[in-house]
Chain A
Amino acid sequence: MPGGRTLLLGLMRVKELSILLVTIAAAIYFSTSSDAFNSVANYQTIAQYVAPWSIIAAGEVMLLICGEIDLSAGFVFALAPFLLMQFYVNGWPLALALLGAIVASMLIGVINGLIRTVLGVPSFITTLGMAFLLYGLVLIISGGRPVAAPKDAAVMQVFGGAKWTELLWAIGVIIVLQVILSGTRFGIHTQATGGNRVGAAESGIAINRIKVINFAVLGTLAGLAGILQGTRVGSYDPTNGGFDTMFFGVASAVIGGTALLGGTGTVVGAFLGALLLGIAFDGFNVLGVSANAFNVVLGAAILIAMILNVSLLVLRKRMGSRELA
Chain B
Amino acid sequence: MKSETGTTSRRTALKYLGIGGGAVAASPLLAACDSVQESQDSGGGSGVFPETPDWRFVFVNHVTTNSFFVPTRTGLADAAKLVGVPEPQWTGSENGNVAQMASAMETAVNSKAAGIAVALTDNNAFVDLTKRALDAGIPVLAYNANAADNYPLTYVGQDLYLSGVKMGQKIAEKVTSGTILVGISQPGGNNVQPRLDGIIDALKQAAPGVRVQSVNTGAEQAAELSAMEAAHTGQQDAKGIYAVDAGSTAACAKLIGDRGLSGKVGGGGFDLLDDTIAGVQSGALDFTIDQSPYLQGFLTVLYLYLYRLSGTLVAPPVTDTGLTFVTKENVGPYASAHSKFEGGDNDKLVEMPSSIPLPPPSVLSR
- Enumerate chain A interface residues (CB-CB to B < 8 A): 34, 36, 39, 41-42, 44-45, 48-49, 52, 143-146, 148-149, 229-230, 233-235, 237, 239-240, 242, 244, 282, 285-286, 288-292, 294
Contacts and interface: CB of A to CB of B under 8 A. Distances in A.
B122 interface: yes
Nearest to A282: B107
Interface of B: 56, 58, 61, 64-65, 87, 89-99, 102-104, 106-112, 122-125, 127-128, 186-190
Contacts of B187: 143-144
B95 to A, nearest CB: 7
B196 to A, nearest CB: 13
A290 B186 contact: no
A239 B108 CA distance: 22
A45 B103 contact: yes
A285 B96 CA distance: 17
B57 to A, nearest CB: 10
Contacts, number: 104
Most buried by A among B56, B89, B96, B98: B98
A39 B109 CA distance: 12
B127 A41 contact: no
B86 to A, nearest CB: 8
A292 B91 CA distance: 9
A75 to B, nearest CB: 13
A137 to B, nearest CB: 15
B110 A45 contact: yes
Contacts of A288: 56, 58, 89, 111
A239 B96 contact: yes
B111 A34 contact: yes
A244 B97 contact: yes
A285 B110 CA distance: 11
B61 A291 contact: yes
Contacts of B58: 288
24 contacts: A36-B110, A36-B111, A36-B112, A41-B106, A48-B99, A52-B99, A144-B188, A145-B189, A146-B123, A146-B124, A146-B190, A237-B125, A239-B98, A240-B98, A285-B91, A286-B110, A286-B111, A288-B58, A290-B87, A290-B89, A290-B90, A290-B91, A291-B91, A294-B91
Contacts of A233: 98-99, 102, 124-125
A234 B107 contact: no
B13 to A, nearest CB: 22
Contacts of A44: 106
Given A45-B106, A291-B64, A235 B112 contact: no
Contacts of A234: 124-125, 127-128
Nearest to A290: B90
Contacts of A285: 89, 91, 104, 107-108, 111
A235 B104 contact: no
Contacts of B87: 290
Contacts of B111: 34, 36, 42, 285-286, 288
B103 A235 contact: no
Given A49-B103, A235-B124, A290-B90, A144 B95 contact: no
B107 A235 contact: no
B95 A239 contact: yes
Given A290-B90, A294-B91, A242 B106 contact: no
A148 B110 contact: no
